[in-house]
Structure 1
Amino acid sequence: MTDTSSRENHLLITLDVNGEQHEILVEPRRTLVDVLRHDLGLTGTHVGCEHGICGACTVLADGKPVRACLMFAAQAEGTALRTVESLGDGCGGLGDLQQSFTEHHALQCGFCTPGFLMLAEGFLAECPDPEPDEIREVVAANLCRCTGYQPIAEAIGHCAARRLKEK
């Protein structure tokens, strides 16, 4: 006998994550960060405060940074999601933003790094030639206890300049 009572309160959703479609049966109350990590195995998205304050869970939804701990997975249906796993160069190496973070020592413990990378990726898509003050304002949205933010801001500025030069 199959237990259908546990499935009655679930939704079958389709998520577009990093260009791949995933059909997932979820409880309506499951957060996007939990589904990304536990159902899809995308553990680069970190769970920090679970209140939307720290930014460790930042992903891109239709190109805009969102806190995955504050969004229900069901809300993300029909949205193009990108996680930090999408930033590589496609050959197993680092993408340009990740490389810039490495070059500028913009990570120490690394816990906040995926959130900063996704925040920066969304920001640079919208503002490809940012001023230093704009970068500092954006990075202030996420929390880091190790780097003091200056290396993060420098890494983002360097990546922006490199991208402009390559155009």
Structure 2
Amino acid sequence: ERIGNRPTLEICGMWGGFIGEGFKTVIPSKAHAKISCRLVPNQDPARIGRLVTEYIQQLCPPTVTVEVVARGKGVYAFVAPFDSPEVQAAAEAYESVFGVAPVYQRSGGGIPVVSLFSGVLGLPVILMGFGLPDDNLHAPNEKMHLPNFYKGIATSIAFMEALVG
């Protein structure tokens, strides 16, 4: 639940002062931070952006100047109900190919097009993964276990067949 169903505010990176080789004993005149927020259903991205900006501004003393720069507009969160026909079709497809029932896991990844697709199509979007924990997803040395690649193709076919009945 904590990795996918709760809103977050993450500090992605911070820097300031002298960041080159060696060191300098100076008081930095500037500091920077990159943050992001993971939203959950019923949170308005524009409202959350305003609230975060206002909160950051309230934290700063009068002697500090703060500038919040939004990168993008944010997107609404999407969650597919586990009991939806589409999720059930995916579960049947996984079990038919892998031989075991899937374990449901919410993932708090940020794929903006998912909520757009769901809104335009009026259907839940089902993201189906076939990787292993050591596949190093999104890392420079990302890989995929070849048998899972082929089982993923078979599972996708079984899923589409289950959807059409």
Instruction: State whether TM-score is above 0.5.
Output: no
Q: Normalising by the residue count of structure 1, what TM-score does the alignment of the two structures yield?
A: 0.29
Larger Rg: 2
Structure number having the greater strand percentage: 1
Superposition TM-score, scaled by structure 2 size: 0.30
